[in-house]
């Protein structure tokens, strides 16, 4: 990472003030896929969270983690958010490795894209089991397909409601396709590239998934677009579920 935000150094000092020698490491993660990693004051949404691309994500490993520690961190959280930091991921020693099989996609992404700011790397010797990644991808894919089917029923045949369903489904689809790419060892941090890879793998006509991924960040589409996009989108998801269900490591 070319630039380490000053806010991260401030976070390090404050965490060391809270945990003292119990702070074993501080890691910044997800910077390669989220721009330069330059933290700064950004726009908040209605829930008080920063825009995803404007945040810097961190994880702190500590020997022990108790209620008083959480309370001390909570008092500083607003200031951290104001400086462009996401809420730190706080974990007690050895929690990360023991949870790797439960969160293979989320924690695998951290393993793939991180910089240790302070302390000893907590990731040495760790790797994600492909079987765990496959299982997690299948869960994501099946959930997405069920959401599309149920969401379609709830549109009551209204094209404008279908348009909303499709637009809202684009970000989770992008995350799913990047997970599938990771499963196959394809370093696709870009959702569009992951979409093209999935289309080639499934033998789909160009655009069945890519057109949906390209809607990330788009607020709305026309009813006509929705009616055109949904049938191949639904078909692609059904094929993706079958593919991931039957995936075996070569």
Nearest CA among 138, 132, 114 for reference residue 61: 114
- Give, in order, the Cα–Cα distances in Å from 2 to each of 29, 80, 90, 115: 13, 21, 25, 11
> What average pLDDT does the segment 158-162 reach?
97
pLDDT at 34 exceeding the cut of 90: no
CATH number of 130-245: 1.20.120
pLDDT > 90 in the chain, percent: 74
- CATH 1.20.120 domain extents, the chain: 130-245
Greater confidence (36 vs 53) lies with 53
Tens digits of per-residue pLDDT, 226-235?
999 999 999 9
Nearest CA among 172, 134, 166, 132 for reference residue 152: 166
6-119 is a CATH 3.30.460 domain: yes
- Give, in order, the Cα–Cα distances in Å from 139 to each of 48, 100, 132, 162: 30, 16, 11, 24
Mean pLDDT of the chain: 88
Contacts of 242 (CB under 8 A, 6+ apart): none
pLDDT > 70 in the chain, percent: 88
Given this model, what pLDDT does residue 189 score?
63
Given this model, what pLDDT does residue 107 score?
93
Three-class DSSP labels, the chain: CCCCCHHHHHHHHHHHHHHHHHEEEEEEECCCCCCCCCCCCCCECCCCCECHHHCEEEEEEECCCCHHHHHHHHHHHHHHHHCCECCCEEEECCHHHHCCCCCHHHHHHHHHCEEEEEECCCCCCCCCCHHHHHHHHHHHHHHHHHHHHHHHHHCCCCHHHHHHHHHHHHHHHHHHHHHHHHHCCCCCCCHHHHHHHHHHHHCCCCCCCHHHHCCCCCCCCCHHHHHHHHHHHHHHHHHHHHHHHCCCCC
- CATH 3.30.460 domain extents, the chain: 6-119
Tell me the pTM.
0.74
């Amino acid at each position: 990472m070319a630039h380490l935000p000053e806010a991260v150094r401030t976070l390090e000092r404050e965490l060391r003030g809270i945990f003292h020698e119990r702070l074993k490491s501080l890691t910044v993660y997800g910077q390669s896929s989220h721009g330069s990693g330059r933290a700064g004051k950004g726009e908040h949404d209605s829930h008080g969270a920063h825009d995803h691309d404007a945040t810097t994500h961190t994880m702190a490993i500590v020997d022990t983690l108790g209620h008083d520690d959480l309370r001390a961190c909570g008092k500083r959280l607003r200031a951290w958010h104001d400086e462009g930091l996401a809420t730190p991921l706080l974990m007690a020693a050895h929690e990360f490795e023991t949870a790797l099989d439960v969160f293979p996609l989320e924690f695998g992404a951290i393993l793939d894209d991180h910089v240790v700011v302070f302390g000893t790397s907590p990731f040495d010797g760790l790797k994600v089991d492909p079987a765990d990644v496959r299982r997690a991808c299948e869960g994501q894919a099946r959930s997405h397909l069920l959401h599309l089917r149920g969401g379609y029923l709830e549109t009551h045949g209204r094209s404008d409601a279908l348009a909303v369903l499709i637009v809202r489904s684009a970000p989770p689809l992008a995350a799913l396709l990047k997970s599938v790419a990771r499963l196959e060892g394809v370093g696709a941090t870009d959702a569009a590239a992951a979409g093209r890879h999935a289309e080639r793998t499934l033998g789909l006509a160009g655009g069945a998934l890519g057109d949906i991924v390209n809607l990330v960040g788009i607020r709305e589409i026309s009813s006509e677009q929705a009616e055109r996009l949904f049938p191949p989108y639904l078909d692609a998801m059904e094929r993706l579920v079958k593919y991931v269900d039957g995936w075996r490591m070569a």
